[in-house]
Amino acid sequence: MYKILLFILLLFSFSLNAKNILSKISPGEKLPADQFIKLYKIINPTVVNIAGKQQGSLYTYPSILPFNLPYNNIPHRSEPPSSLGTGFIISSKGLIITNAHVIANANIITVKVAKDNKEYIAKIIGQDKSSDIALIKINTKYQLPFASLGSSQALQVGQWVAAFGNPYGYSHTMTKGIISAKGREIDELNRFPFLQTDASINKGNSGGPLVNMQGEVIGVNSAIDPRAQGIGFAIPIDNVKSILKELKEYGFVKRGFLGIYMLDLTPSLSRTVGAHKKNGALIVEVLRNSPAEKGGLRTYDIVTKFNNKPILSSRDLSKAIKNSASDAQILLTIYRKNKVLQLKIKLRPHSQNLHKRPLSKKVSSKKAKVYFYKAPYKLGFHLVNANKKSAKYLQLPYLAKLNKPVVVEISKHSSAHLSGLAYLDIILDVNLKKIKTAKQAFRALKKGTNYIRILRNKQVYLLQMRGR
């Protein structure tokens, strides 16, 4: 009931704040000399400084001293780590938007309000690390000024904007610039493509508002990419608005889960799996009891379309899944053994408990005699079969029931070493052939290029190594 009332109050607050919007400036119209002054007077009272603190933390200094001396990593008791950032009020009742990384791991979140210059303890309403957005709330004895949320879809490159924040602790700072680009994708930094601006966004600006000339918030400042020198990035406000309701109702964002591991399809991988495709997402593992398994998806399928939209890479497929409703019915177009198939699959909310594997745990026992199998073609690694003897030898009980060979030795600078193969990797298949023993694995190897699919720390990888 409280969350429903909170949502109604938020909608009511938006309507009350419409009077604080400045008149629209038409394209080509001269910018009034006092426009930024008016903008500051409207937005600054809604901007808050946020500090996140960890209490009673015992932590280690990083190894930055020369020669990696032993005392580098001795634990030290020191001041609790803290983070500084910005937020902006979006309702008179004290709802505040900021970045999720600003409040990450904080035991206490304090918010300093411009109106009375006092600090308040905030509570977390919801957060989403994937989109780097958090919703927090403070309680005051009076109604707070708040910002109006605009639309980022209508933004044009070259449009004037202003960024507000707390850079390096200098509170209530405003910088100006233009929209330099839209739809910037920077590796895996954010779920949503960024707005790019030349308005200065530095450490401490994170979570602050990026506003248009009417005083509407069109983005949330983000200063998390160390490569962003002289340019700033912001999360589009339309994307933020799309998750606000779920953050208020559930405290998190429900996302669709398919249950796969995947790689970009390369020409070499395409030849290995016998395909004639240049682009797509190659499925390297289908998790047990997942929507993917129930929907008929298999290892080494190539996904080329998602709901009839082309999939050019694994990133495309990952984004499509993340942006789908948690219970969405999706249509995948796949390529399997020279056939094009379409699969209808119903997603479900992501569960962290799916496909859990037992963790390794040391046990006290005498080492047993275990036979090490040496890989052919000078690949440079050894395997043992997973059984009771090898489980005792390696002091890893879960190997007794694994029924797969395990990597136990790797020669330095060998093909296996250069491929990224690691100690205790579990071999799933070799050159598309599923295997259960070391002998089966080595029979599947060949001179030239080999592909070995392995399991490591609950993650599946496809490694390439060359035999000679």
Q: What is the pLDDT of residue 26?
A: 61
Same domain, yes or no: 19 and 67? yes
Same domain, yes or no: 244 and 273? no
Can you say whether residue 71 is alpha, beta or left, with left for phi > 0 and alpha for psi between -120 and 50 degrees?
Answer: alpha
The tens digit of pLDDT for each residue in 309-356 reads 999 988 889 888 888 888 899 999 999 988 999 999 999 887 543 333
Q: What is the pLDDT of residue 351?
A: 54
Q: What is the pLDDT of residue 265?
A: 85
User: From CA 389, how far away is CA 370, in angstroms rounded?
Assistant: 6
Could you tell me the pTM of the whole model? 0.63
Q: What token pair was written down for 278? A: 């240049």
CATH number at residue 284: 2.30.42.10
Within a domain: 315: yes
3-state SS track over the chain: CHHHHHHHHHHHHHHHHHHHCCCCCCCCCCCCCCHHHHHHHHHHHHEEEEEEECCCCEEECCCCCHHHCHHHHCEEECCCCEEEEEEEECCCCCEEEECHHHHCCCCEEEEECCCCCCEEEEEEEEEECCCCEEEEECCCCCCCCCCEECCCCCCCCCCEEEEEECHHHCCCEEEEEEEEEEEECCCCCCCCCEEEECCCCCCCCCCCEEECCCCEEEEEEECCCCCCCCCEEEEEHHHHHHHHHHHHHHCCCCCEECCEEEEECCHHHHHHCCCCCCCCEEEEEECCCCHHHHCCCCCCCEEEEECCEECCCHHHHHHHHHCCCCCCEEEEEEEECCEEEEEEEECEECCCCCCCCCCCCCCCCCCCCCCCEECCCCCCEEEEECCHHHHHHHCCHHHHHCCCEEEEEECCCCHHHHHCCCCCCEEEEECCEECCCHHHHHHHCCCEEEEEEEEECCEEEEEEEEEC
Q: Which domain holds residue 57?
A: 2-137
Same domain, yes or no: 268 and 309? yes
Residue 384: phi and psi, rounded to 5, are -125, 150
Within a domain: 366: no
Same domain, yes or no: 132 and 154? no
Mean pLDDT of the chain: 81
Same domain, yes or no: 341 and 437? no
Within a domain: 12: yes
pLDDT at 367 over 80: no
Same domain, yes or no: 95 and 156? no
Same domain, yes or no: 260 and 219? no
pLDDT at 371 over 70: yes
Pick from 84, 118, 137: which residue ends a domain?
A: 137
Q: What is the pLDDT of residue 326?
A: 83
Same domain, yes or no: 13 and 130? yes
Same domain, yes or no: 167 and 127? no
Within a domain: 360: no
Nearest to 340 by CA among 422, 277, 262, 247: 277
Average pLDDT value for residue range 44-65: 63
Q: What is the pLDDT of residue 191?
A: 65
Overall domain count for the chain = 4
Same domain, yes or no: 278 and 241? no
pLDDT-based confidence at residue 123 (cuts at 50, 70, 90): very high
Within a domain: 194: yes
Within a domain: 355: no
Average pLDDT value for residue range 196-209: 88
Average pLDDT value for residue range 372-395: 88
Structural contact between residues 182 and 234, judged by C-beta atoms closer than 8 angstroms:
no
Within a domain: 69: yes
246 contact partners, CB below 8 Å, separation of at least 6: 126, 252, 253, 254
Same domain, yes or no: 271 and 214? no
333 contact partners, CB below 8 Å, separation of at least 6: 303, 304, 305, 306, 308, 340, 341, 342
Catalytic center residues? 101, 132, 206
Pick from 83, 114, 137: which residue ends a domain?
A: 137
Within a domain: 179: yes
Same domain, yes or no: 37 and 85? yes
The tens digit of pLDDT for each residue in 137-168 reads 999 989 999 999 999 988 999 999 999 998 88
CATH number at residue 54: 2.40.10.10
CA 285 to chain CA centroid, nearest Å = 20
Average pLDDT value for residue range 74-93: 71
Pick from 250, 266, 283: which residue ends a domain?
A: 250
